[in-house]
Structure formats: structure tokens, C-alpha cells
Amino acid sequence: MMLRAATRGVVNGRSRLVRGFQSSAAMRKEIEMFIDGKPVMIEEGSAIIQAAEKAGVTIPRFCYHERLGVAGNCRMCLVEIEKNPKMAASCAMPVGPGMRVITESPKIKQAREGVMEFLLANHPLDCPICDQGGECDLQDQSMRYGSDRGRFNESKRAVEDKDIGPLVRTTMTRCIQCTRCVRFINEVAGTGELGTTGRGNDMQIGTYVTRPLASELSGNIIDLCPVGALTAKPHAFTARPWELTSTDSIDVMDALGSAIRVDSRGAEVVRIVPRTNDDVNEEWIGDKARFAYDGLKRQRLTVPLVRSGAGRLEPASWADALQIVGQRLRSTAPEHVAGVAGALADAEALVALKDLLNAAGCERLGVDSASGSASDSASGSVSADVRSSYTFNATLAGVEDADVILLVGTNPRREAPVLNARLRKPFLAGTAVFGVVGDACDLTFDYDHVGTSARDVDALANGSGAFAQALRGARRPLVVVGAGAAAQPGVAAAVARLAASLPALVTCEWNGLCTLQAAAGRTAALDVGYTSCDLDSARFVYLLGADGAAARLPPDAFVVYQGHHGDAGAHAADVVLPAAAYTEKAATFVNTEGRTQRTRQAVAAPGAARDDWKIIRALSDAAGLPLPYDDVSGLRARMADVCPSLVAADVLEPTSPEVALLALSRLAKSSAPASDAVLASDIADYYMTDAISRASRTMAKASAAANGRLASGSDGAKAEAMRM
């Protein structure tokens, strides 16, 4: 209770006050004020530090962050205001008409030197061994604004390090108590484990007693920390920033397509950090996106494998492996051929495989579920003919404008934690109410549990209950359906009937009926035409990184597995073809809102592994069905023919409301009965959803911590788990 109360004091006191003048800026008029004599037009009520940024003037700061509430406790951003006898903290002072602010003066210089002297008084001399070295705000600003000497001759304060889980390493003696981490965990992540205890020199930041961080976004506090108090535990003492080669890319651990930067040294990925993209992930990423990279170097497939007569997979040459697969494909009747795409399949490979199997006369193409378990239908009763039936139509940023939000069979905290943080924004602002149909889950915002099954969705469509009335009275209602729930019988029809009862749900200005995909390759697969996945009569099955389908393969089927990890699909295969992972190729993915994005190659693929589409192109020659493209430009021209949106990078192409409403009208008239089956999320364990995360030791530790095995085990068990 002491920790929680102290947390509220630091976070909620000032930050709520300051958020008041930072919010709803679009509704306020612009005023003119002056920064160092330069006129600036800015929204009334904005902070001085924001006006300075708009004027191109840099004001140093430690505690201030534009996406967090304001604490105003580091005092590094002090400025002078004309006719004001005292200096003011520019992060917490709102601008006013005609205000004149001075950001550089002898008085301000002396104040900044004093702040730096106090911060460095207890700071340890750890720069040579600190992982933050080279990227440290304190290091940079002490050089720019600090004095050339110090007057502190006493013993430095020491603080005991905190164990906050397997992902974030703490060195709390370095902490300058900016409370960025506290504010992030409380405001953005919403789990509330971090807080402050004590006052003055005794103030410390930590969690509840021996409790690890429970947030799926916890790694973001590493980026927020302006000193080396919080660093990445898996990356500890691995590399210096100046040794790394950085490559801009996108994340494929979920379906959001978050902007990331892949840092590599030689042929190894050693770190993944977020990039800013306000339309998708702002500047946050999930812990799986950040820390699962160690799975890229474990259990990798590096050479082709062919199952011998003894039943073992033996190494083979590319020519031999492709010849065997091509011969079996030619000799199998088209009606007995099937292709299954996994969660991480890129658009180039999806188009190439479809072209190859279509050339062989096969039309049976489907996908695994996002959790890795196989589903009999890629889209259930959801039509893939209309794109709006399987995309997140309101856009990721658009959820902040919704006023009544219904979640159907989805847990965004597991499926898309960055989206969950966006959903929390209107909750904190008090502008939205939430309802859930499905399993009662631990979300980071309050909600009404209005039901568990498709029948409860039908009840909402009929106007039963207070939440149904709230939906009908909403200005911008939002209905988010999980991809797993949408595949269950009767769910899509029930949701369509609900949509038909809400005139404000789909209009010319707003399309609030959204499907939340959980797999990076799912939207592109539906765009290309992967819709059916019945394997009962299949005699030749091509698994494109699909591991869940291994559980339901016919016993007499010839199975080809193309992928980058020795997961379940590889163990069930007769021929294994090694492919490149997402950090090892330039490939196209489509996120859940229908935005086309591309990865970039950061490192070389290991061994004999090759890009997925190149393997399929070579196989087409071996099968006597050569594909009509030999390079990536030719393939992407073919992609444009199949689905033009696949080559329109970073462009959203919304479906017209007329088409969306027509599709909903047809589906609403479906006779599919609504069942009593509980609608649950596809993902049971956030940290273990695909071949990469299942191969990651870091994710294994995080999963164990999340499930309580580390917290409840003996010291010996904990130590053994940490050595995994």
C-alpha cells in the first residue's frame, strides 16, 4: 500500500493536471508566444517545452517525455519567463498569449550546472562497464550542460538492485528518480507494478516484494530510462552501440507490423529496438518483438533434409531435395495436393506457392491459426471476398476516437499489446466504455463482461442489456473480433447482425467493425486467396512454415516443410527445405489494418538457407512447372496482378462503405446458428506463439515467470530456470 500510494502521488498528482492542458489540443485556439525572441504559434495550454520544440530550440530534460504524464521533478528544463521572478520548469508550465520565454542565459546555465552536480553527486562511475554507455542521456547532457568540476567529497549513496524479472536488468544506484518507468508502467502499460517508496535521499523505485513485471510492454522502460539504471538483461555486456550495424525493419511477432530497428554484429542479431511510427506502434513494441531475437540462432534449419528409409532426416543437396519434391508433386493427383501457410509467411512466398500449386492444378490452400494450432478453415464463415471482413478497418490509431468498444473473442493484451496500450488511452481519458464477449480476461482497463458466446452477440443485436443501448447510442462504436473467434461457426453471422443494428458502426466517415489478426502473415494470405485448409484426403502437403498443421496430417501423406526452424512441422516432414527468417530477407508483410510493409535484410541466412520465394521458384523448375519470374521485381509485378495493395507500401486502401455494408447485409441473413461455445483468444501464452519465440531461451524464461513458476519455486528451481 505504501508503494501504491507513493506511486499515485508521483504519477497521478502532477501528470493528471498537466494532461489536462495537453489533451484536446485540436479543440483549442492557437496563440502567439515567443521563444528567445522568436514568435511561435501553438495551441493554447501546451507546455513551454513543446513550444520550444516547435521553434527548433532544444531544452534539456530527464523526466519529461511527450507520451507520458508530466512529473516535473528533474528541474533540468528550467527556463526564464519575462516578468516572472522565478525560473519555471518548462515541461509543467503552460504557455500563455504573448508569453516571452528565455532558454539560454547565465542564470539558466548556472541552474543546469547545479542540477547536473546534484545528479552526478551519487551517480557511480560505471560508464566503462555500463550497457547504456554511448546512448546515455545523462552522459551526453553532463558533457553539454555540466560543470568542469565537482564539489562532492562524501561517500556516494548505494541502492540495492531489484529483481523485476528475466527481461529488465536493474542497477538502481544509477537511478536519478526521473520516474519515467513508473509513469510508463502505470499509464501506458497499465499493470502498476512499479512505484516509489521513501522521500528525499531515501526515495527508491521498485516493484512489490519479489514481484516481477507482469506487462507485455515492460521492455520499453529500457528505452525510456535516461541513465543505465534499467538495461536489457539478455543483451547485458554483449556489444557496444558503436559496434553495431542498424537496419530499419518491421516486427512480425504479431500482426501490427511495428516499426523496429535490428542491430547486428557480424552475422548475428544482438538487439531489436523500436522506431517511431505514430500510425502503428507510436514508439513502443512488445516484449516478444524486442527479446525473442535469440531464437533466431537456435534450432535453425541450415541444410536440406530428406527422410531416409530408416525414418531419420538426413542431410541432402538442394538438387536432390528439390528433385524428390518435384517428382512427388508431379505424380500426385491435383485433388490430393494441399498447401498450408504459417504465421510468418511473407507475401512473396505466398504468391509463389499459390502460383506453383495452381499450375499443378491444386486449389486447396489454407493457413495455420496464429497460435500454431491448425484450424480447418482460414477464415471460418468470414468471407475473404471483401477485404473489410478480415482487416482492422478503424485503423490502429483510430481506436482512440471510439466511444463504445466491444471486444468479441479477443484478448488484445496477448494478441497485440501495443494495440492494448492504445485502447487504454480513451479509457484513461474517460471518453470510452468497454464491453467483452468471451472469456473474462485480465485487461488493463475496466470493462463490462456482457457474455461469453455468439448467442450473447445476438442478444446485443436484439438490444438486450445496458451495453447494447450504449452501443446504439454511440457516436463512433467499435467492434473488435478476434481472428480465432471469427473462424468459429455462427460468430461472423452474429457479428454481422449486430453491425446491422448499429447504423453508426459503418458509415462514410467511420468503419468500426474490425477483425484483429494475430499472425503477421494472415492478412496477406487472405488477400492472395488462402481460404481452405482441409487435409483429410491430402497425399501431398506443402507446409510453408506451418507447424500447427503437423498435428492433423494424414498418416500416408508426403509432407514437405519449408521454414527456418526445426519445429513441429519439420519433425513431421519427409523433406525439409531451409529458409531465411524475417531478419535475413527483404520481404513483404501486410498488417492487420491492411497496411503493406517490408522487412529489410539485416544479416545473412545461415548455412544453405534461402529466401522462401527463391526455393519455390527453384522447385517449380524441378517439378517441370517453371514460374514466369526469375527475380524479385518480376515476382512483385505478379503480386500487383494478384492483389494491387501488396505492392503499395505503407498505404491503407479502405473498402468503400457501400461494399462493406452489402457484405454485412448478406452475412447477417445467414442461417448459421449462434452457438453457446465460449469465444476465447487464439493465444494462450503470449511468449510462445511461433517457431522463433518457441526457440528463444529468453521467451522461455519470460513464460515461466508469467506462469508463476519462477516466483513460487525454490531458490534452486529459480536458479535452474534462469540457466535455461
Quick: pLDDT tens for 171-195.
Answer: 999 999 999 999 999 999 999 999 9
Statement: the pTM of the whole predicted model exceeds 0.75: yes
Report the C-alpha gap between 428 and 49 in whole angstroms. 23
Joined together, the cell numbers standing for residue 251 give 516486427
Topology, domain 2-231: Ubiquitin-like (UB roll) (3.10.20)
Of all residues in the chain, the percent with pLDDT exceeding 70 is 92
Ranking 29-38, 43-52, 647-656 by mean pLDDT, the lowest is: 647-656
Identity of the residue numbered 310:
A
pLDDT in tens, 487-544: 888 898 999 999 999 999 999 999 999 999 999 999 999 999 998 778 888 999 999 9
Q: Is the pLDDT of residue 667 over 90?
A: no
Identity of the residue numbered 475:
R
Average pLDDT, the chain: 89
Split at pLDDT 50, 70, 90, the class of 383 is low
Residue corresponding to grid cell 452475412: 667
- What was the pLDDT predicted at 211? 82
Q: Is the pLDDT of residue 709 over 80?
A: no
Residue 378 contacts residue 530 (beta carbons within 8 Å): yes
Give the length of the chain.
Answer: 724
Joined together, the cell numbers standing for residue 235 give 543483451
Can you say whether residue 36 is alpha, beta or left, with left for phi > 0 and alpha for psi between -120 and 50 degrees?
A: left
CATH 3.40.50.740 fits 305-376+526-647, yes or no: yes
User: Which CATH architecture does the domain made up of 387-521+655-668 adopt?
Assistant: 3-Layer(aba) Sandwich (3.40)
Q: Which of 273, 182, 286, 267 is nearest to 235 (CA)?
A: 273
CA dihedral 613, 617, 619, 620 (to 10 degrees): 130
Per residue, the 3-state secondary structure of 32-88, as one string, reads: EEEECCEEEEEECCCEHHHHHHHCCCCCCCCCCCCCCCCCCCCCCCEEEECCCCCCE
